[in-house]
Amino acid sequence: MRTGLMGGTFDPIHIGHLIAAEAAMEEAGLEEVWFIPTNTPPHKPQPGADGSRRRAMAAAAVADRPGFRVEALELERGGVSYTIDTVIALQEREPDREFHWIVGTDMMNDLPNWRRIEELAERISFICLGRHGEESEEADLPDYLRRKIVPARMTPIGVSSTDIRERKRSGRSIRYLVPQAVLDYIEGNGLYES
Ligand code: ATP
């Protein structure tokens, strides 16, 4: 079964993540997409909301979409979350699935810096979401990686979790930037307020 994996801090999950997952599913013929909240990201500050809340928001966001689900193994494992460890664990647990890692084009040029990237590229391919014609962005990738990149198109959505946290902190609306169930969770728990 072709399964997409989307890692992220999801602090909070937003429509950019969901539209990217939907596009990856359609363009790359995936049957499922699993959202994997990071515990401690290797190259980013520690997330603001704790893991159980980021997991709950992601679960609320995908509850009504068959084929989307949250896989919390990085939170359960603890420590710094390296994609290679996650992929090895999932391939051992689910040998019949074919996994593909979903990334936005903003992350693509960072791929060579990922831990044990050559081994990772032997195990999976990368579905890279961008606008049509963004091939130039992969110009700097080494051959072993370029071969494992599957470009996919999505309608560009210029939203980020950083933007959502800042809007919330300054009392501006985040309605429609996150699903209603996520908005309800954020407001119900007083997240991202100053
Ligand atoms: P932050 O603003 O806190 O850095 P973020 O919005 O970039 O967060 P992450 O959880 O770090 O979100 O991203 C997880 C994955 O989702 C990455 O592969 C990233 O490229 C992708 N992604 C995030 N926002 C978008 C977007 N608006 N469109 C397409 N892909 C996105």
Residue 114 is predicted with a pLDDT of 95
Sign of the alpha-carbon dihedral angle for 112, 114, 117, 121: negative
- Report the C-alpha gap between 112 and 118 in whole angstroms: 8
Q: Give residue-wise pLDDT tens across range 12-24.
A: 999 999 999 999 9
Q: Give residue-wise pLDDT tens across range 34-75.
A: 999 999 998 777 778 899 999 999 999 999 999 999 999 999
Residue of minimum CA distance from atom 25 in ligand 1 = 16
Parallel, antiparallel, or unpaired for β 32-37 and 149-153? unpaired
Residue 135 has pLDDT above 70, yes or no: no
User: Residue holding tokens 């009392």?
Assistant: 171
What angle do the packed helices 51-62 and 180-188 form, to 10 degrees?
150
Residue 138 is predicted with a pLDDT of 53
Residue of minimum CA distance from atom 28 in ligand 1 = 16
> For residue 174, which amino acid is it?
I
Residue 132 is predicted with a pLDDT of 55
Q: Give residue-wise pLDDT tens across range 154-164.
A: 998 989 999 99
Distance 11 CA to ligand 1 centre (A): 10
Cα torsion at 75, 125, 64, 12 (round to 10°)?
50
For 99-161, the DSSP string reads EEEEEEHHHHTTGGGSTTHHHHHHH-EEEEEE-TT-GGGGTTS-HHHHTTEEEEE-------H
Residue 82 CB coordination number (10 Å): 18
Distance 17 CA to ligand 1 centre (A): 6
What region, left, alpha or beta, does residue 154 occupy, with left being phi > 0 and alpha being psi -120 to 50 degrees? beta
Per-residue confidence band for 131, with pLDDT thresholds at 50, 70 and 90: low
Residue 139 has pLDDT above 80, yes or no: no
**Does residue 80's CB lie within 6 angstroms of at least one atom of ligand 1?**
no
Residue 133 has pLDDT above 80, yes or no: no
**Does residue 17's CB lie within 6 angstroms of at least one atom of ligand 1?**
yes
Residue 47 is predicted with a pLDDT of 75
CA angle 95, 145, 122 (to 5 degrees): 25
Task: Say which residue, 50 or 140, is predicted with more confidence.
Answer: 50
Domains and CATH numbers, the chain: 2-188 (3.40.50.620)
**Does residue 106's CB lie within 6 angstroms of at least one atom of ligand 1?**
yes
Residue 130 CB coordination number (10 Å): 21
Query: Which ligand 1 atom sits nearest the alpha carbon of residue 158?
Result: 27
Q: State the chain's mean pLDDT as an integer.
A: 93
Per-residue confidence band for 107, with pLDDT thresholds at 50, 70 and 90: confident
**According to the per-residue pLDDT averaged within each range, which of 48-52, 103-107, 180-184 is highest?**
180-184
Residue 48 is predicted with a pLDDT of 81
CA angle 136, 142, 145 (to 5 degrees): 90
pTM for the structure as a whole: 0.95
Residue of minimum CA distance from atom 26 in ligand 1 = 16
